[in-house]
Amino acid sequence: MPRKTVPSMTGESPTLVRSAVNSSTKPSLHTEAEPHGGKVELRKKVTLLRGISIIIGTIIGAGIFISPKGILKHSGSVGMSLVVWIACGILSLFGALSYAELGTSIKKSGGHYTYILEAFGPQVAFVRLWADMIAIRPAGLAVISLAFGRYVLEPIFMPCGVPPLAIKLATAIGITMVMYINSMSVSWTARLQIFLTFSKLLAIAIIIVPGLYQLFKGETKSFTKMFEVDSVQLKGLPLAFYSGMYAYAGWFYLNFVTEEVDNPERTVPLAICISMVIVMLCYILANVAYFAVMSAEELLASDAVAVTFAEKLLGNFSVAVPVFVALSCLGSMNGCLFAFSRMFFVASREGHLPEVLSMIHIRRHTPLPAVIVLYPITLFILFVGDIYSLLNFMSFLRWLFIGVAVVGLIYLRYTRPDMPRPFKVPLFIPALFSFTSFFMVFLSLYSDPVNTGIGFAISLTGIPAYYIFIVFNRRPKWLQSLLDSMNRSLQIIMEVIPAEQ
C-alpha cells in the first residue's frame, strides 16, 4: 500500500541549496568522497559486532552496578528476584524478536517511529516523535549523563562527596564529547561503542568471577531459603517486574539504524539474539555473585551495590569500580545518541521535522544536524530542568508506544500479508509482549496516576502540533521566506546536503 509523504515543515525543495553548499566548499570535499564512490549517503558500516555492541552497550547502563535492589525489594526473596530477572529477560527477548521481524521487513531506520508510521499513519507517529523530541530523549540522555558525571569524579573526590556543580560540568563535557564523536565519524562512533561495551563486560566479569568463586567455596547462605513463601510479596511483584523490564530496555536501538546495517536480513536478528543471551547471562550471574558475597539485607541497605561488593571482596581495587560504572554510562550515552539521531533523520525525511535534519555532512557522511539537534535542549534541562520529574511524567509513554509498534506487526500481518518477511516470529510472541507493555502502562496509571496523567497530557499536545506544523501549510510569505533562508544558512554553515538516493 503506497503511503504519501506529508509536507515538510520548511516547505523547501530537498535539492534547493545543494549547489550552494558545493560551491562554498573546497574541491577537496569531492576528492575525499571519491574513494567511497562520490555518493553522499549514510554508509552501511554497522557490522554484526558493531550491532551487538550497540544493543549491549545501551542495555547495560549503571543499573546493574548501582541498584538491582529494586527487584529484590519488591519480589521479597532472593529466589523470586532471580525468577523476575529471568522472566523479564525472556519477555524482552520476545520484544526484540518482534522488532527483528519489523526491522527485516521494513528496511528503514527510525525504530518505533518508522513502524508506527507504516502501520498506523503519520498522525500517531508524529505524537510519538513529539513526545520524544520535547521530553523523553533529552531528559533520558541528561539522566544517564549525570550518572557518568558523578561516577567519573567519585575516585577524585573520595572519601568526600562530589559537588553538584562539578557533576553537572563533567556531565556537560561528557555530552559534548559524545555529540562531537557522533558528528565526526560513524566508524569512530562504532569503534568507541565496541570499546565501551567490552569495558562494561569486563567490569561485570570482575564481579561475576570472584562472586562465583565464593559461591563454589560454600558461601551459600543467601540461597539456603531462596523461596521463603512468607517473604514473597504478591502486591510488589508487578513493580519488581516493571523494574526488571526497564533494566533490559535498549534492545530496540539497532532498529533505529537499519539502513546502516550491513546485510540487515541476517545481521539484525542475529545481533539481537546474541545480545539478549549475553545480557541475560550477565544480569543473572551478576545477581548470583552479589548474593554469594552479600546478604539480602546488606544488598537492600546499599546505595551502590557494586561498590559495596568490591569493598567487601576486592579491597583497594574497589576504587576502580566507579570508573567502570562511568564507562558503562558513557557507552549508553553513545549508543543512545547514535540511534535516536537516526530517528530524527528519518522523521525529517518524512516531512515531520525541519528539512535540514535529514541532511548529511558532505565529507564525513554523518547526519550532523540530527546528531546535534538535542544538544541545546539537553544542556538546558541539565542545568535548569527538573529531570527526574520529567522522566516520571514520560516513562510510561515509552512502553505505550513500544506496545503500539508491536501491535503494528500483528496489524501488518493482516493488512499487508504479501510484505516480504525474511525473519518471521510466531504470532503469540508479539501478542504476549504487547500485552505485557500495555500491562506496564496500566500499572503506571494505577501506581502514579498524577504523574502519568501529566505525561499523557504533554504527549497529547502533539495532536495540535501536528495540525499546526504539518497539515496547515499556508504560511505567510514572509514567514516561509524566513524559514527557507534559515534552512539555506544552516545547510551552508554545517556543510550538509540531502542524501543521494
How high is the pLDDT of residue 62?
76
How high is the pLDDT of residue 16?
42
Residues in the chain: 501
Radius of gyration of the chain (CA): 23
CATH for 18-498 (1.25.40.80, 3.40.190.80, 1.20.1740.10, 1.10.3720.10): 1.20.1740.10
* C-alpha separations of 92 from 52, 173, 216, 406 in Å: 16, 33, 30, 12
DSSP letter (8 states) at residue 133? I
Q: What is the pLDDT of residues 295-339, one digit of tens each?
A: 888 888 887 788 888 888 877 777 888 888 889 889 999 999 998
Asked whether the beta carbons of 400 and 437 are under 8 A apart, the reply is yes
What is the CB neighbour count within 10 angstroms for residue 422?
A: 15
What is the CB neighbour count within 10 angstroms for residue 480?
A: 15
Angle at 379 between CA 322 and CA 254, to 5 degrees: 70
Angle at 243 between CA 241 and CA 247, to 5 degrees: 115
How high is the pLDDT of residue 5?
45
Q: Which residue reads 562511568 in cell numbers?
A: 326
What are the sequence ranges of the domains in the chain? 18-498
Asked whether the beta carbons of 390 and 139 are under 8 A apart, the reply is yes
How high is the pLDDT of residue 32?
36
**Can you state the angle between helices 186-216 and 321-349, rounded to 10 degrees?**
140
How high is the pLDDT of residue 87?
92
Angle at 477 between CA 476 and CA 482, to 5 degrees: 100
Q: How far apart are CA 484 and CA 478, in angstroms?
A: 10
DSSP letter (8 states) at residue 261? B
Amino acid making up residue 107: K
> What is the grid cell recorded at 32?
575525499
**Can you state the angle between helices 305-313 and 321-349, rounded to 10 degrees?**
150
Partnered with residue 360 across adjacent β-strands are 497
Q: 3-class secondary structure for 44-76?
A: CCECHHHHHHHHHHHHCCCHHHHCCHHHHHHHC
Q: How far apart are CA 449 and CA 124, in angstroms?
A: 23
What is the CB neighbour count within 10 angstroms for residue 269?
A: 20
How high is the pLDDT of residue 245?
85
- Please state the φ and ψ torsions of residue 46, each to the nearest 5 degrees: -90, 100
Is 312 in a helix, a strand, or coil?
helix
> What is the grid cell recorded at 91?
519477555
How high is the pLDDT of residue 433?
94
pTM of the predicted protein model: 0.84
Cis bond leading into 159, ω under 30°?
A: yes
Q: To which H or E segment does residue 359 belong? A: strand 359-361
Nearest to 259 by CA among 139, 110, 459, 441: 110
Residues in the chain, pLDDT under 70: 1-41, 67, 226-236, 385-394, 473, 475, 500-501
Asked whether the beta carbons of 323 and 170 are under 8 A apart, the reply is no
80: burial class by Cβ within 10 Å (0-12, 13-18, 19+)? Answer: buried
